[in-house]
């Protein structure tokens, strides 16, 4: 089968032929229909992600596919079931093995290209805003990188939770997408001063930040008293240094959030959140945005869309 493989961290990933994997105990084999890409895939390809597999390995953290074989001790989901799963790697291939316990049946009305990019982005925003930030109806949510893979879902979920949502993105096209997703106010970080604009709107009670860098520093200075700042990632490439005097004076809480980390200490929280999200989708309350769907042989081009920030919403690869 074909797989987009990382052979070493000095060489770009490449599409090669590898043996079809055999599911071990507790695993199942999927015929992969689609793989959703994440910023973490770029880090993993360079060996800088916190949970990079041992070399060599196949990129692709989350997939949607059909169960075609069970490993020892596995009986569910049944063969023929279409499921979504966050496996951490192995998704940019025609077939892959994944833990059966982490697979969730996909709603019938959800396309595979949508399901493949649903778990990480929506799961991140849902758990971050509900479990960690405790976002309340009527509060103001400031979303940085609001047209990106996770940022756009934070806009949607924040709005569904009853918050007033301020979306920050770059350029008119991305702002329009955030507005369509439910943002009450939009700010162009290329042409407007984020600190001034957010303060004029009454400040922020919760900040959702997958960007870091200068935007984090500007956003921190818009916090209302007892605000919560959730750090999701550092797409800017710069990890901000937090000025403790500001968080002290305003009683601000800065919260770290790593969605994948829950797999090792509270996987049930992820699975419960995912069930809630699939229900919201089935009820028509979530409208996932997939900006690009590319074939497996264009995996490098798909990753470059993330690298250069030319995508909005999710980028998906279909074997």
Residue 90 has pLDDT above 90, yes or no: yes
Crossing angle for the helix pair 151-160 and 172-180, to the nearest 10 degrees:
30
Mean pLDDT of all residues in 37-52: 92
Contact 318, 293 (CB under 8 A): yes
Residue 316 has pLDDT above 90, yes or no: yes
Contact 21, 97 (CB under 8 A): yes
Residue 264 has pLDDT above 90, yes or no: no
pLDDT averaged over every residue in the chain: 94
Residue 235 has pLDDT above 90, yes or no: no
Beta bridge partners of 229: 207, 254
pLDDT of residue 171: 94
pLDDT of residue 131: 95
Residue 148 has pLDDT above 90, yes or no: no
In this predicted model, what pLDDT tens digit does every residue of 187-201 receive, in sequence order?
999 999 999 999 999
pLDDT of residue 263: 83
Q: Return d(Cα 253, Cα 225) in angstroms, integer.
A: 10
Q: Return d(Cα 58, Cα 89) in angstroms, integer.
A: 6
In this predicted model, what pLDDT tens digit does every residue of 268-305 receive, in sequence order?
898 899 889 988 898 888 989 899 999 999 999 999 99
State the pTM of this model.
0.85
Domains annotated on the chain, with CATH: 2-118+288-318 (3.90.180.10), 121-260 (3.40.50.720)
Confidence grade of residue 58 (pLDDT, cut at 50, 70, 90): very high
């Amino acid at each position: 089968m074909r797989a987009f493989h990382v052979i070493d961290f000095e060489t770009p990933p490449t599409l090669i032929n590898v043996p079809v994997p055999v599911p071990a105990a507790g695993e199942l084999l999927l015929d992969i229909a689609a793989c959703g890409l994440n910023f973490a895939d770029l880090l993993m390809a360079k060996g800088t992600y916190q949970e990079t597999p041992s070399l060599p390995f196949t990129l692709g953290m989350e997939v949607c596919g059909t169960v075609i074989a069970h490993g020892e001790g596995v009986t569910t989901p049944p063969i023929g079931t279409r499921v979504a799963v966050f496996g951490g790697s192995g998704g940019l291939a025609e077939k892959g093995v994944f833990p059966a316990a982490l697979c969730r049946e996909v709603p019938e009305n959800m396309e595979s290209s949508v399901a493949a990019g649903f778990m990480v982005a929506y799961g991140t925003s849902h758990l971050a805003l509900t479990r960690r930030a405790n976002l309340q109806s009527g509060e103001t949510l400031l979303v940085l990188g609001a047209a990106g893979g996770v940022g756009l879902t934070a806009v949607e979920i924040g709005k569904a939770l009853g918050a007033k949502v301020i979306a920050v993105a770059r350029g008119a096209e991305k702002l329009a997408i955030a507005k369509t997703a439910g943002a009450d106010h939009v700010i162009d970080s290329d042409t407007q001063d984020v600190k001034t604009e957010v303060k004029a709107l009454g400040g922020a009670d919760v900040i959702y930040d997958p960007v870091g860098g200068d935007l984090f520093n500007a956003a921190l200075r818009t916090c209302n008293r007892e605000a919560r700042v959730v750090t999701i990632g550092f797409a800017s490439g710069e990890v901000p240094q937090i000025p403790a005097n500001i968080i002290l004076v305003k009683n601000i809480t800065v919260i770290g959030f790593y969605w994948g980390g829950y797999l090792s200490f509270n996987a049930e929280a992820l699975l419960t959140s995912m069930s809630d999200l699939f229900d919201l989708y089935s009820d028509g309350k979530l409208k996932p945005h997939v900006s690009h769907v590319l074939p497996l042989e264009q995996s490098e081009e798909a990753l470059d869309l993330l690298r250069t920030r030319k995508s909005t919403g999710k980028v998906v690869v279909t074997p």
